[in-house]
Structure 1
Amino acid sequence: MVTIRPYEDRDWAAIARIHDAARLDELRESVGVEAFRTLDDTYEGEGLFDGAVWVGESDTGDVVGFAALAEAELTWLYVDPGWYRRGVGRQLLRHALAADVSPCVECTVLEGNAGALALYVDEGFVLRETKSGRLAGSEEFAATGHVLEWRRPAVA
């Protein structure tokens, strides 16, 4: 069981470790690991704390994932590789969507990140467009991203 709670300063070491491990997996299947930059090197420029940040905490008190949402955009969602495919990403995603009041939320998934794409599509996101450009945080690398959009269900 994982509990979702707001990020606290004491969580920094855990989310940095999670990001750095999971980001390598993400890049391995997309742009290439040469584009890797640590969370320490990228969080400010990529606006990690521009909005709300949540962590997923196991019943043993370990942080096992984190998500961030700012201005109707899911900007970060990373899960500890030891917790992949155990529902942590889905829980974090659902929490972020429930916490936001926007009628529409978007996110971008790197081409090649099949696991993330499958999760978002399964949760109701639809492909809005595919764009090529520079990789945020590692601008010297070209990247292709799928921009996905989730719309809040209409209340009857």
Structure 2
Amino acid sequence: MIKIRPYFETDWEAVCQVHDRAQPGEFAGVSVPLGLTPLAQNPYLNKIFHPCRKFVACDGDQVVGFVAIYKNHITLLYVDPDYQNKGVGKRLLRLALNIIGSPAWTVVIAANHRARHFYAKAGFRENGKFESQVSGSTCQFIRLVRSQI
């Protein structure tokens, strides 16, 4: 049975493992010549992780997913590939939205149709596009916003 609880500093390595295992799916179809950046080496950790409220989904003692939120922004939401399509991400998102309220927003890679569909089912709508560098490659991103439904 999956339980969701607040993040503890002792979860850091497990959260990194979940992120790093799930990240290839996020970038499917995107050419990143320098390879993907592990969470522990992400240069934006002080924006997207450290100042955030964080929660982890656990199967027993094993962290299998996590969400990080800052004000009304879902900065990170990852589920280990072995636990995807089992409702873990949906539960983490529901928790984040209960805390954030409306409006809520996040950013996804434009080519990540799975994430776009996941957020669309929760009422998020496209609210702009932009490009940014990821590991030496220019990637297209989409900002998604959810207003009160």
TM more than 0.5: yes
Cα displacement (A) at 1:146: 1.1
Structure 2 equivalent of residue 104 of structure 1:
103
1:112 partner amino acid: A
Query: Could you tell me which residue of structure 1 aligns to residue 12 of structure 2?
Result: 12
Maintained 8 Å contact 2:32/2:137: no
Secondary structure of residue in 1 paired with 2:66: strand
Matches within 5 A, 1:38-57: 38-42=38-42, 44-57=45-58
Count of residue pairs brought into register by the alignment: 148
Counterpart secondary structure, 1:34: coil
Letter in 1 for 2:104: V
Q: State the alpha-carbon separation in 1 of the partners of residues 33 and 8 from structure 2.
A: 29
Decide which moves more: 26-35 or 85-94: 26-35
**TM-score, length of structure 1 as denominator length:** 0.86
**Aligned-pair Cα RMSD in Å:** 1.7
**Structure 1 segments of 4+ aligned residues over 6 angstroms from their partners:** none
Aligned-residue offset at 1:32: 3.1
In structure 2, relative to structure 1, the CA distance for the partners of 1:33 and 1:9 (3 Å cut) is farther
Instruction: Name structure 1 gaps, 5 residues minimum.
Output: none
C-alpha contact (below 8 Å) 1:68/1:74 kept by paired residues: yes
**Match in the other structure for 1:132:** 131
Judged with a 3 Å threshold, the aligned counterparts in structure 2 of structure 1 residues 150 and 31 are, in CA distance, closer, same or farther, namely farther
| Aligned residue runs from structure 1 range 107-126, under 5 A | 107-126=106-125
- Whether contact under 8 Å (2:18, 2:78) holds in the other structure is yes
Aligned to 1:84: 84
Q: Distance in 2 between matches of 1:130 and 1:144?
A: 7
Give the whole-Å Cα distance in 1 for the aligned partners of 2:98 and 2:75.
15
Residue deviations 1:89-146 (CA, integer Å, cap 9, x gap) = 1110110110124x211111102211111110001101111222323xx3x3201011
Alignment-mate amino acid for residue 12 of structure 1 = W
| Paired residues of 2:67 and 2:93 also in contact (CA < 8 A) | yes
| Fraction of identical pairs, as percent | 28
Aligned residue in 2 for 1:146: 142
Q: TM-score, normalised by structure 2?
A: 0.90
In structure 1, the residue matched to 2:26 is 26
